[in-house]
Amino acid sequence: MLMGLFNDWIVVILMMIGLYIVIAHGNLIKKLVGLTIFQTSVFIFYISMAKVDGGTAPILSDDIVQYSNPLPHVLILTAIVVGIATTALGLALVVRIKESYGSIEEEEIQLQDNEIKDESKEEAQP
């Protein structure tokens, strides 16, 4: 039971680690790392789903009778590209956040935003 679903266990454990990092950490880079781990677990899930016992790579040949399903591999190739784009965009945002806030800690950024809000409220009620 445990060994038969080995890949699924890995997928679920990685997924939970990833989600936990995204939720629990205040550092923006660490959050992105968590997000990447979370996405990677889904890639593994798709890839292991395609495996057929005793099947090989889908290359036409006379002495091969069973193939693994290539479709999920192709799908996940697309998802990997999307994942890279997301990470790149996220990192670019973090760079600009660092430039304008001087910090990449969630708490400090929110503190700075709230200060501005309080000031504008005081101005509005003279």
Partner 1 sequence: MINHLPVLIVVIPLMAAPICLLLNRPKLVWLFSLFASTLVFLISISLLQQVMDSGVISYDLGGWQAPWGIEYRIDKLNAFLLLIISAISTIVLFAAQTSIEKEIPKNKHTLFYILYLLSLTGMLGIVTTGDAFNVFVFLEISSLSAYALIAMGKDRQALWASYQYLIMGTIGATFILIGIGLMYQMTGTLNMEDLSQRLPEVAQTRTVFTAFAFVIVGICLKLALFPLHLWLPNAYAYAPSIVTAFFAATATKVAVYLLIRFTFSIFGLSFSFTHLPLQTLFIVLGLVGIFVASVAAIYQSNIKQLFAYSSIAQIGYMIVGFSVATVSGLTATLLHLFNHALMKSAIFLALGAVVYRVGNVQLSSFYGLGRQMPLTMAAIVVGGLSLIGVPLTVGFVSKWYLLLALLEQGWWPAAVLVLLGSLLAVVYVWKVVEAAYFKEPLATATPVKEAPMTFIIPIWILIIANIYFGIDTRLSVQVAEAAAQSLFGAAL
One-letter amino acid of 109: I
- Min dist CB 69 to partner 1, Å, is 8
Q: Of the candidates 28, 35, 23, 36, which has an alpha carbon nearest to the alpha carbon of residue 96?
A: 28
Q: Of the candidates 72, 21, 16, which has an alpha carbon nearest to the alpha carbon of residue 43?
A: 72
Q: Which is nearer to partner 1, 4 or 62 (CB)?
A: 4
x/- map, 52-71, partner 1, by CB under 8 A:
--------------------
Q: Which of 7, 19, 25, 58 binds partner 1 (CB under 8 A)?
A: 19
Q: Which is nearer to partner 1, 61 or 100 (CB)?
A: 100
Look-up: residue for tokens 């593994």?
A: 44
- Summarize the chain as % helix, strand, coil (round to 5): 70, 5, 25
Q: Which of 10, 17, 49, 73 binds partner 1 (CB under 8 A)?
A: 49
Q: Which of 1, 4, 60, 120 binds partner 1 (CB under 8 A)?
A: 120
